[in-house]
Amino acid sequence: MLALLPGIAPAATREYHLTLAKEPVTISGKPVTKITVNGAIPGPVLKFTEGDDAIIHVTNTMNEDSSVHWHGLLLPGFMDGAPGFNGFSGIKPGETFTYRFPIRQAGTYWYHAHSLGQEQEGLYGGIVITPKSGEPIRTARDYVLVLSDFSEEGSDEILGNLKKSSEYYQYQRRTIGDFLADSTREGLHQTLQTTAEWGRMRMLPTDLADVTGYHFLVNGKTNAQNWTGLFKPGEKLRLRFINAAAMTFYDLRIPGLKMTIIAADGQPVEPVEVDEFRFGTAETYDVLVTPKDDKAYTIIAESLDREGFALATLAPREGMKGDIPTHRPRAQLTMADMNMALMMEDDPDMDMSDPRYSESGWAQSGAPEGTKILRYEDLRFLGQQKDTRAPTREVTVRLGGNMDRYIWTLDGKTFDPENAVYFAYGERVRLTYINETMMAHPIHLHGMFVQLENGQTDAKLPNKHTVIVPPGQTVSVLLTADEPGAWPFHCHLLYHMASGMMTTFVVGEKGAAIPKAAGMDEASHHMMHQGHEDHGPGFVPHAFTLEADGGWDNRSADIAAWDFDGWAGGDRNKLWLKSEGEVMNGATEQAELWGMWSRNIDTFWDAQLGLRQDFQPYRNSYLVAGLNGLAPYFIETEAHGFIKDDGGVSARLRAEYEALLTNRLVLRPQIEVDINASEDREEKLGAGLTDAALELQLRYEIERSFAPYMALRYHQKFASTADFAREENEPTTATSLNLGIRFLF
């Protein structure tokens, strides 16, 4: 009937079949098992025309649940593809799920998994939607370039390593050599002051990226494989850039060519000519270029931490390559990248005229002077925004985190399906993102676009589905809440989302008031946890350190020692285990084992409660209570009190600090003291300070998980404890030199 009406044509149906599989791929030269879509990484580019009806059959041949999220598309909530939201439960092993939705927009978008770490494993691909009236800008050629970061490690392994140590992948940290160089250049006083400020905040100026060791790809190809887009000199090309990386920001440029930005996140903007742009995870940019010379041009996407490039080529003929770039200097964060409000609370007398507080390190790209770099402020919506109403309320979202434990939060909370932000249908709201961390966060809202408040008039504010919030900065956007449903809202750095940086935006039905918070039924609660908190089968975050060594002391004794320390569990509650001991001339002189429940009570501190069992030199049992955490200036600190089975009370304090001579050569001083509340003649312990142990360890980290070391140790008994030793004709001091191996697992 519709086909008979003048000017009305039935919607065309565009149908695709996608098969998800785990199979060996060889991208970096080493065969590893990853996820393919129709046998490839990335999956195929899906092409539609605005107004089409999309039918996409996704078959999961893997032995784990999966999903596909259509990033940036306006669609019914059930079709959005995030497990646990809007009744979608994911795609079970061996099953096919059919996504059906109308195409309501045009532009460049992408799709990816929203289950576990499958996006990192290869489940992603591009989407191109042509306007129903045709492309308004005619180009000779149209290329899609999907940028990604490929790791030989599995996503669970990467997240597990980050939970062991947030610095697990970092080998660009500041060293003693950097300190000395800064002292020469800026003066010792200034360098000490700056170092102290970073230490007091327990932050690092080198925190640009959490994960290194990536192979950067363009359309699944390595730099050596050289993805090439052909042209004839003088042709106008459209390049659709999609950042499908899990964790990587890129600075993108094409030396010798100006780029004209014509769309951001799939939405048209007034043309802006630039030399380069910073490209956050999950963002898309469409650019026009017109290569006029008969030569090859190199597309350079350089990772923010300057660890590598994703390279591609524009050339008049296959087999050509442009110039291979050299790395630009690696930026370092400055005090300006800290949250100024928090810093002023901590130090009201801070001199804000100091240039260290006004010049952002994160914003430095190392580009030559005069380079035009795209800024968010340059983006102007093409046409007029339909909704220019003033917001009726403001919702503040604080982006937070704890790098020491690798926990990331929104409004101080990790993801909980019981927590949500509620909106009435059609409500106009200002969302204010306050970044209280030293890292940039690409904040993505499913199901709707926001209008970025970038200094343009309300009618010209650009649409964005993903907004980069720089370190320490505040960014605001406007939202018209016109898509009913429960929509994920999260950081699009994969391991930040997996570590808690996610919540739910709930939009009510048309005509209804702002929805009230309501508990989820058991099935929905399980689905959310399954899709966004659980990881691979058997995955339990943990970090255990074992130091085992042998050596000689000043008593001409052969000695061996061990120190085992670590935890297993979640972000808030952990099982903490400790064991240490010493063997002298083949006989065990000291051995103890601890088991504790550890509860996170503050950003940097855990409260601990448990039991300690001593086996040598005396067999005793203790109740243990104490604190474990990171004190200012990066001092790892433990303080525990003990109640012995006979009622005796004692305490132990331990503190250590790691100084980097190089990024692999680490000098660690450590001090441990024992205190007794009362004299214990049977065990030859006096009251007060009984003994202290000092250690200076030098280790070389071949890998984070394996490091040989040399340790110089000094032990001394004090006061009446020393008197007891003298009565037994035992030494009151001991010095030893030990060689050992440190394992982190």
Mean pLDDT (10-residue bins), the chain, 745 residues: 48 96 95 98 98 98 98 98 96 98 98 97 98 96 98 96 94 93 93 90 90 97 97 98 98 98 98 97 98 98 97 97 94 85 59 70 93 98 97 97 91 92 97 96 98 98 98 97 97 97 96 63 42 56 96 87 96 95 93 97 93 96 97 97 97 98 98 96 94 98 97 96 92 96 97
Strand order in the sheet with 267-274: 215-218, 141-150, 237-243, 284-289, 259-264, 267-274
Q: Tokens 């887009």 appear where? A: 229
What are the residues whose beta carbons fall under 8 Å from the beta carbon of 222, sequence distance 6 or more?
27, 28, 215
Task: State in words which class domain 135-170+207-328 has.
Answer: mainly beta
Tokens describing residue 433: 């993102």
CA distance 294 to 291: 8
CB of 227 closer than 8 Å to CB of 297: no
CA distance 84 to 81: 9
Give the residue from 110, 15, 462 showing the smallest Cα distance to 268.
462
CA distance 449 to 455: 18
Q: Give CATH 2.40.160.40 domain extents, the chain.
A: 542-744
Q: Give CATH 2.60.40.420 domain extents, the chain.
A: 11-133, 135-170+207-328, 377-532
Give the residue from 535, 570, 538 showing the smallest Cα distance to 65.
535
Bridge partners for 607 per DSSP: 599, 627
Q: Is 421 helix (H, G, I), strand (E, B) or coil?
A: strand
Fold classification of 542-744 (topology level): Porin (2.40.160)
Q: Specify the amino acid at residue 184.
A: T
**CATH architecture of the region 377-532:** Sandwich (2.60)
Strand segments (E) across 570-718: 573-584, 587-602, 605-616, 620-631, 635-644, 649-656, 659-660, 665-676, 688-700, 706-717
Tokens describing residue 617: 């030199």
Burial class (CB in 10 A: 0-12, 13-18, 19+), 634: middle
CB of 164 closer than 8 Å to CB of 543: yes
What are the residues whose beta carbons fall under 8 Å from the beta carbon of 5, sequence distance 6 or more?
none
Give the residue from 315, 172, 304, 322 showing the smallest Cα distance to 248.
304
Q: What is the 3-state secondary structure (H, E, C) of 217-264?
A: EECCECCCCCCEEECCCCCCEEEEEEECCCCCCEEEECCCCCEEEEEE
Torsions phi, psi for 664 (to 5 deg) = -120, -20
Per-residue confidence (pLDDT) for residue 345, from 0 to 100? 60
Tokens describing residue 94: 């061996």
Burial class (CB in 10 A: 0-12, 13-18, 19+), 377: exposed
CB of 423 closer than 8 Å to CB of 485: no
Tokens describing residue 364: 């430095």
Distances (CA, A) of 342 to 84, 337, 398, 406: 35, 12, 12, 20
Distances (CA, A) of 539 to 163, 431, 521, 567, 570: 12, 35, 25, 14, 11
Q: Which ranges of 573-625 would DSSP assign to H, the alpha helix?
A: none
CA distance 453 to 444: 16
Per-residue confidence (pLDDT) for residue 684, from 0 to 100? 92
> pTM for the full model?
0.93
CATH match of 11-133 with 1.10.4160.10: no
Q: Which ranges of 486-592 would DSSP assign to H, the alpha helix?
A: 494-498, 522-532
CA distance 741 to 735: 20
CB of 516 closer than 8 Å to CB of 422: yes
Tokens describing residue 435: 């970044």
CA distance 564 to 470: 39
Per-residue confidence (pLDDT) for residue 203, from 0 to 100? 87
CA distance 501 to 491: 6
